[in-house]
Amino acid sequence: MDEGAFDKLAEQNVVRQKELDRRDKATDLKQVKNSKRNNVILVLLFMVVFGVAALWPITSGDVTNNPHESSTEQNIIDRNNPEHPAAWDKDDTKLMESKIWDGNDQFSGSFQRDLALPGIPLDVEGVTTIPVEVRLISYRQDGKDTGFRLGLFTSTCADKPMSGQTWNDLSERYRYSSVTPMLIGMEVVVEFEVPPGQYCLVFEYETPPENPGYRATIDAEVTSHWNQPIFAPLSGLMGLMAIFAGIGAHKAGKAWKAVAQPSKPERQSTEEEVLEQADEERGAMSESGDALEEDIPEVADSSPPVEVETTPVEDTTPTPEISEPPVAEEPVAEQPPAEVQEPVQEQQPAAEPEYTDDELRAFGWTEEQIEWQRQTEAMQRE
């Protein structure tokens, strides 16, 4: 075995090993790329969820329906009696239990409601403070003034009398007064922005009713955005993390492309990308495609080309006859036909020297590659 053959096999083995290493590295980089892309999608999903949670309103009370609106005081008294035939049905009772109004008892003209606002225990306006929106509708029909005051006392409604707080003790941040009369059935909106905590929402008319009864005179609906200071920063944090995750995914994609598609142009059609990816997957599934294959020499046809003799066409132009003495025709001797030279087959070049299995193993060949090599040599000998 000459030295050149050894060098050729060694070079082929190096090239094969480099290709296998490239495919293994491309597989690992592809897994990293897919993992980083999934991280980007997951972080974006969290950002959307936290954003929706921050904007979702938390509402209590209902001002869309008033069961007392078309009832008189006596009708309401009769319907509050469970034994009366006109007693409230289950739907009306359920609606009235969810309302914030003064129709729960006979002391109409004011109401109190506990309001819990969870959040970060810091008072940073616009950051940790909580927007609170109160919608009011008046049904007072005694002809008195409907001016009112609304306040948030920093205690529960059960502790409010014991706390000793009065309207004058509240700062402008926690109270609202209106001397403008409310129109019957018209909605009035009052907004607060307070830090998290436990509050008692109190409503009173500036001129209380002289004859309070069961009939409701005020209805309220409270919308608090205590979820905004909690989930809005989380949504912003997820957005920032999504930016960094996207940068990492982009870098991982470029690293994978540089290894898996080193000669691929920057822009390719979708069809070309699919075909190249399919070729790479087929190559990664089987390493037998890298086995050496030798071309079978073709036997050239050595028979000489047959030349076709053409006889010139005689000139048919009439010529003047010249009288000549007749000449005796000599017989034309027949020549034997030319011998056809048989085609000579070219001798096939001597087969390249075969290597033993031990020599191929020394070059780094696997048993599968050696088996493929033996099958190729057997096909060539046939």
Q: What is the pLDDT of residue 131?
A: 93
| Percent of the chain's residues with pLDDT above 90 | 29
Q: Within a 13 Å sphere around the CA of 104, how many CA atoms are in the beta-carbon half?
A: 15
CA nearest 57: which of 138, 153, 134? 134
Give domain limits for the chain. Answer: 11-56+227-260+365-382, 82-226
| Alpha-carbon torsion (54, 56, 61, 64), positive or negative | positive
Helices (H), the chain: 3-55, 73-79, 90-97, 160-163, 228-260, 270-285, 357-362, 367-381
Give the chain's mean pLDDT. Answer: 78
Residue 377: the pLDDT is 80
> Tens of pLDDT along 110-135?
999 999 999 888 888 888 899 999 99
- Of the two residues 263 and 92, the one the predictor is more confident about is 92
Residue 372 has a pLDDT of: 82
Residues 287/272, Cβ–Cβ less than 8 Å: no
| 0.75 surpassed by pTM | no
- CATH 3.10.520.10 assigned to domain 82-226? The reply is no
Contacts of 81 (CB under 8 A, 6+ apart): 87
Beta strands in 93-154 (DSSP E): 100-101, 110-117, 130-138, 148-153
Which pLDDT belongs to residue 303? 43
Distance CA 222, CA 119 (A): 17
Choose among 56, 47, 55, 52: nearest CA to 234. 47
SS3 23: helix
Q: Give the residue carrying structure tokens 């540089």.
A: 258
What is the sign of the dihedral through the CA atoms of 273, 276, 282 and 287?
negative
pLDDT at 317 over 80: no
The string of pLDDT tens digits covering residues 200-225 is 999 999 988 888 888 889 999 999 99
Average pLDDT of span 279-300: 51
Assign residue 126 a region: left if phi > 0, alpha if psi is -120 to 50, beta otherwise?
A: left
**42-46, 52-56, 143-147: lowest mean pLDDT where?**
143-147
Inter-residue contact 112 to 218 (CB < 8 Å): no
Q: Please state the three-class secondary structure of 143-211 as a single string.
A: CCCCCEEEEEECCCCCCHHHHCCCHHHCCCCCEEEECCCCCECCEEEEEEEECCEEEEEEEEECCCCCC
